[in-house]
Amino acid sequence: MLTLSGVSAGYGGVDVISGISFSLMPGESLTVIGPNGCGKTTLLKAIAGILPHGGAMELGGRPMRGMRHREVAKKIAMLSQISGTYFSYSVYETVMMGRYLHTGGGLLGLPSKADKACVLGCIETVGLADEADRPITTLSGGQLQRVFLARTLAQDPEIILLDEPTNHLDLKYQIEILDHLRRWSSVGGRAVVGVLHDLSLALRLGDSALVMKGGRILAHGATGEVLTGALLEETYGVDVAGHMRESLHIWDSIT
Amino acid sequence: MKTKVIVAASAALAALMLGVAIGSVGIAPGDVLRIIGHKVFGMGLAEGIKPTTVTILWNLRLPRALLAFIAGGALSVSGAVMQSVLRNPLASSYTIGVSSGASFGACLVILYGVTIPLIGSLTLPLVGFAFGLGTIVLAISFASRLDRNMENNTIILVGMVFSLFVNAVTTLMSALSKEHMQRLIYWQMGSFSMKDWQAVYTLAPILAVGAAFVLYFNRELDMMTFGEEQAKTMGVDLKRVKWTLLIAAAAITGSAIAFVGIIGFVDLVAPHIVRKVFGSSHRVVIPVSVLVGGAFMVVCDLVARTVASPSELPVGAVTALVGAPFFAYVYFSRRARRC
């Protein structure tokens, strides 16, 4: 459903990623991992059409270059980290914005019954059914991130890009949301691409993994096959596997 | 929400009534309605209403109050759009060069006594409008060349550079021509005095069409407040919408200041108050900003012409003097309540 061939992208004419080639299949849940500055977020922004890209990118068999922004947004949604301050919209109003491309813009772009039901369903999915009328400026960071997730789901895309979506969330919601997205991607020809710093969460999300370093792909394939101790050590410059075993040992001693 | 909107509309009507009723000659609200009924619907005029009262109301006070309302509404809508598009609570058309461009145009007309054939006395407002809009178009074009994504910071910085530069040129020109300085300063301070129905007839449709036009983009405006990247990923054609809305807001402001001069603060304070009371949805913010900004301007003009009567204060000074403490009260009292 999405194919990248020799894709490059960056800021101010300087490429941060280059030579990126991979395909995303329907039903796939891909986790992108790598150290800070390796280009994970840049890759997501290029796929979402926020950054211009070099090389070739095809969405549903059509070249993305020249594709209208609305067409891309109908198929690809992105959930980013929370940043900055927000105006005081209610939870319901915020999630309804995800229906923009479905209800159309403008003065008469009023939501249909189906839109309203979809929005309420998405709000319920993220556990905020009782907060639908609450202004988002009064929510905690975790609640706000769940509102944005509901808005992303309301967009009803084929691909959801996640850029550190579990920041601000407590463990319960981290697990619930990632599991929900995994289930979401497993039906109806959908897919998820997630950037997660926490390796245990990354493993929970992705049945396939893309490992990046220095703006390039180090490895790509099924998570269980690709993520070896040697590769992770090469990627992060520390003995990741040993560190995780040590953590498990501490955990065992606690329990 | 409906109740709040009805209260805002009633407050706007009450402000207009005060604006026409109070002055050196007081006119009772009932007489105001009778005179309007007489003039608009041809109803008979009650005995005891003097012809001079009719003249004062119909030829002086009503056009003045309506013009103040329209100008306040226009500036307020424009401010709401600018703040949302540029995602900056201090942004306004003035920030990115409308007032400095309009001042420069007015300066040229006043210093050189230019009069364009056919439009005669409308030369000053039209040239002010054209230069205000021209400055903002130049600033945005320049910003889009520097940064093809047209990020907000680039637009604000380029706008401010243009604004400061044009202001400097205007200051130099007026300093070199001291005999015209007073008229120029007077224009720059804004005023509703000596305005007739012509200005009302010209500005009213501009405000109606302008407000309806930006209201058409209410959902895009909502999404743009979440930042450029989020708006893009939700499907907003950001560059096109941003260009369109910035130019529309600048045109609305430019039209208003062309007729009444530069009046600050309304465009900043009214949208903030509206968002605090009515929420942030632009489907509500845009029309209610017209009511609140309009009512605010009418009250400020009333203060400007009555507090030091028979002299008149510059209305721009009153908008700031009345608005700043009111703004602080609304903002901080609601914040304290939330805590």
The answer to whether residue A12 neighbours chain B at the CB level (below 8 Å) is: no
Alpha helices in chain A (DSSP H): 40-48, 69-75, 91-96, 100-103, 113-125, 141-154, 171-185, 199-205, 223-226, 229-236, 240-254
pLDDT in tens, A150-168: 999 999 999 999 998 777 7
Beta-bridge partners for A30: A193, A208
Q: With CA atoms as reference, report the closest residue to B152 among B217, B85, B219.
A: B85
| pLDDT for residue B338 is more than 50 | no
**Whether B12 contacts B295, CB under 8 Å:** yes
Higher pLDDT, B63 or B136: B63
**Whether A190 contacts A159, CB under 8 Å:** yes
Backbone φ, ψ for residue B318 (5° rounding): -70, -40
For chain B, the average pLDDT equals: 86
Query: Cβ B222–A97 below 8 Å, yes or no?
Result: yes
pTM of the model: 0.86
For residue B336, the model assigns a pLDDT of 53
- Mean pLDDT for B66-77 is 95
Residues 6+ apart with CB under 8 A from A57: A2, A3, A4, A5, A7, A46, A47, A63, A64, A65
Distance CA A105, CA B122 (A): 37
- Tens digit of pLDDT per residue, chain A (255 long)? 899 999 999 988 899 999 999 999 999 999 999 999 999 999 999 999 989 999 999 999 899 988 888 899 999 999 987 766 778 899 999 999 999 998 855 556 678 889 999 999 999 988 899 999 999 999 988 888 889 999 999 999 999 999 987 777 788 888 888 888 888 888 888 999 999 888 888 888 888 999 999 999 999 999 888 888 888 888 888 887 777 777 777 877 776
Structure-block tokens of residue A7: 């894709």
Note the ipTM here: 0.88
Distance CA B69, CA A226 (A): 68
**Shortest CA distance from B232: residue in chain A:** A50
List of chain A residues whose C-beta atoms are within 8 Å of the C-beta of residue B225: 86-87, 89
Structure-block tokens of residue A245: 């075993």
Structure-block tokens of residue B135: 């400055």
Query: Cβ A138–B230 below 8 Å, yes or no?
Result: no
Query: Cβ B280–A105 below 8 Å, yes or no?
Result: no
The answer to whether residue B219 neighbours chain A at the CB level (below 8 Å) is: yes
Distance CA A10, CA A46 (A): 8
The answer to whether residue B153 neighbours chain A at the CB level (below 8 Å) is: no
Query: Cβ B232–A98 below 8 Å, yes or no?
Result: no
pLDDT in tens, B285-332: 999 999 999 999 999 999 999 988 788 888 888 888 877 787 677 667
In this complex, the residue of A49, A97, A135 whose CB is nearest that of residue B223 is A97
Distance CA A197, CA B265 (A): 46
- Mean pLDDT for B216-239 is 91
The answer to whether residue B284 neighbours chain A at the CB level (below 8 Å) is: no
pLDDT in tens, B10-53: 999 999 999 999 988 889 989 999 999 988 888 877 778 888 99
Task: Check residue B294 and report its DSSP letter.
Answer: H
pLDDT in tens, B89-115: 778 777 788 888 888 888 888 888 778
Sign of CA dihedral B37, B38, B44, B46: positive
Measure in Å the smallest separation between the Cα of B89 and chain A Cα atoms: 10
